[in-house]
Chain A
């Protein structure tokens, strides 16, 4: 009886060894572990501790090697993900916006909202507006600031670099061509009629973005009040952007903080 089991265990072990000596694949590895595990159990049953421990050691080694490989693979995959800044499909949109931003900063602003928030959903509308706030408060053109901000949100410094470079590239190349032409002929192209029609389309564009964002963002009295105040003060009093946004931020801090405090006081 005991002899039979021992024989069976030996057989299982050597079968496993046979499979193990062939080129390793995932399925074979699984089979080997299974066979040896069964052999281990049988050796334990008949009390052959020496053999059992031997097999156990091999199994543990096998398992360790396997998991080490898996970890290595995962580490590599993570590294690759860090190197490849999301899919290229999302970066070409910055290039597209860089190409079609004719009609001034507000046109670019509207294009960005449309692509980043409405279509691709890379940023939430709050994130987008936050980028706009930063663009207004910090130096640099607002549109480029939003592009850099969006890139940073996606992939830190590398993302910011790629989005900014890709965004500025079309204008840069066009400007070089124009500069070369200018040096030769000293003429500036007549583009007034084109700009007039573009301006009209941009007006429509801006209003559509304003309506879209306003619908999501302005939900309570403080927001509505700040909205109206910002609109009128920049329209009538011609306050500069920095003042309007800065004061609105302070107003928001006061109004919402007081609002929250009152809510806490009255259960």
Chain B
């Protein structure tokens, strides 16, 4: 029980401070899980993060793996819920607050500017992912086909991803 409480506390903390999500939180998790509580060895921790990237969900799902290592299925559930809960509650509260202040001109203008920035960052993400994954003729070909399928033929991206995965599997 004591371990479960500690587990929950650690992941609540991580969930609260995981701004931006993804890789940003990895050092934070490492300090707590490997250095402070020694629940996992360094090697196991790296594997946990790798497995977290294999699953379709966000990397924080590594919490499930760590929770399982520490306290079985129950630990996995506690860790996952704890890591999700803070951002879940905050998002809901803020969405409600924004809905109330929707008429506010200053807030509307803030979001107008921020929306444009998000699009800029989408292109930046495309470029940086492209730089590391478009490495030979085959991958450039896949990216080109994907772009055409999506823009011209409005294909559901699920199929595009599935197709690319299968190509990767058989080649």
Q: Do B91 and A140 have beta carbons less than 8 Å apart? A: yes
How distant is the Cα of A143 from the Cα of B96 in the complex, in angstroms?
A: 19
| Complex contact B128–A235 (CB within 8 A) | yes
A249 to B62, CA, bound (A): 32
Q: Across the interface, do B150 and A205 meet the contact criterion of CB distance under 8 Å?
A: yes
Known A-B contacts A201-B163, A256-B109, A260-B105; the reply to A227 vs B126 at CB < 8 A is: no
Instruction: Tell me how far the C-beta of B108 lies from the nearest C-beta in chain A, rounded to whole angstroms.
Output: 8
**Most chain A beta-carbon neighbours within 10 Å: one of B76, B90, B94, B150:** B150
Residue on A nearest B156 in the bound complex, by CB: A114
A253 contacts the other chain (Cβ, under 8 Å)? yes
Are A141 and B60 closer than 8 Å at their CB atoms?
yes
Known: A197-B139, A217-B115. Contact between A102 and B56, CB under 8 A? yes
CB pair B121 A231 closer than 8 Å: yes
Q: How many angstroms from the CA of A108 to the CA of B21 in the assembled complex?
A: 13
User: Whole-angstrom distance between the alpha carbons of A174 and B123 in the complex?
Assistant: 30
Q: Which of A96, A200, A222, A231 makes the CB contact (< 8 A) with B143?
A: A200
Q: Are B84 and A252 in contact (CB under 8 A)?
A: no
Rounded to whole Å, the gap between the CB of B152 and the closest CB of chain A is 10
Q: Is the CB of A226 within 8 A of B126?
A: no
| B168 CB contacts on chain A under 8 angstroms | 193-198
Interface size class of B (residues with CB under 8 A): 35 or more
A149 and B91 contacting across the interface, CB-CB below 8 Å: yes
- What mask results when residues 120 to 155 of chain B are scored 1 for a CB within 8 Å of chain A, else 0? 111111111110111100111011111101110010
Chain A residues whose C-beta falls within 8 Å of the C-beta of B123 in the assembled complex: 206-207, 210, 214, 231
Q: Would B16 and A139 count as touching, CB distance under 8 A?
A: yes
Q: Chain A contacts of B90 at CB under 8 A?
A: 138-140
Q: Could you tell me which residues of chain B, from 16 to 72, have a CB within 8 Å of some CB in chain A?
A: 16-22, 24, 47, 50-62, 64-65, 68-69
Knowing A140-B88, A193-B171 are in contact, say whether A100-B162 is a contact too (CB < 8 A).
yes
Q: Closest A residue to B110 by CB, please name it.
A: A249
Encoded as 1 (CB less than 8 Å from any B CB) or 0, chain A from 212 to 252 comes to 01100110001110111111001100001110111111111
Instruction: Known A149-B91, A204-B150; judge A240-B116 contact (CB<8 A).
Output: no
A122 adjacent to chain B (CB < 8 Å): no
A residues near B128, Cβ cutoff 8 Å: 235
A252 close to B114 (CB less than 8 A): yes
Residues B116 and A252 in contact, CB atoms below 8 Å apart: yes
B91 touches A199 (CB 8 A): no
The minimal Cβ–Cβ distance linking B112 to chain A, given in whole angstroms, is 5
Q: Does B92 touch A at the CB level, under 8 Å?
A: yes
Docked complex Cα distance between A118 and B52 (Å): 29
Report whether A106 and B64 are in contact in the complex, using a CB–CB cutoff of 8 Å: no
Residues from chain B with Cβ under 8 Å of A118 in the complex: 154
Assess whether A255 is interfacial by the CB under 8 Å rule. Answer: yes
Q: How far is the CB of B158 from chain A (nearest CB, A)?
A: 5
A129 touching B68 by the CB < 8 A rule?
Answer: no
In contact, B157 and A256 (Cβ under 8 angstroms)? no
- What distance in Å separates the Cβ of A112 from its nearest Cβ neighbour in chain B? 10
Is the pair A240, B20 in contact by a Cβ cutoff of 8 Å? yes
Are B115 and A188 touching (Cβ within 8 A)?
A: no
Cβ 8 A contact of B146, one of A141, A201, A247:
A201
Q: A176-B73, A240-B20 are in contact. Are A139 and B113 (CB under 8 A)?
A: no
Sample 16 A-B pairs with CB under 8 A, ordered by A number: A106-B129, A111-B161, A130-B115, A134-B91, A139-B19, A172-B76, A193-B171, A194-B165, A199-B129, A204-B149, A207-B126, A230-B119, A231-B123, A240-B24, A244-B121, A245-B121
| A-B residue pairs, 3 tightest by C-beta | A252-B113, A140-B87, A171-B57
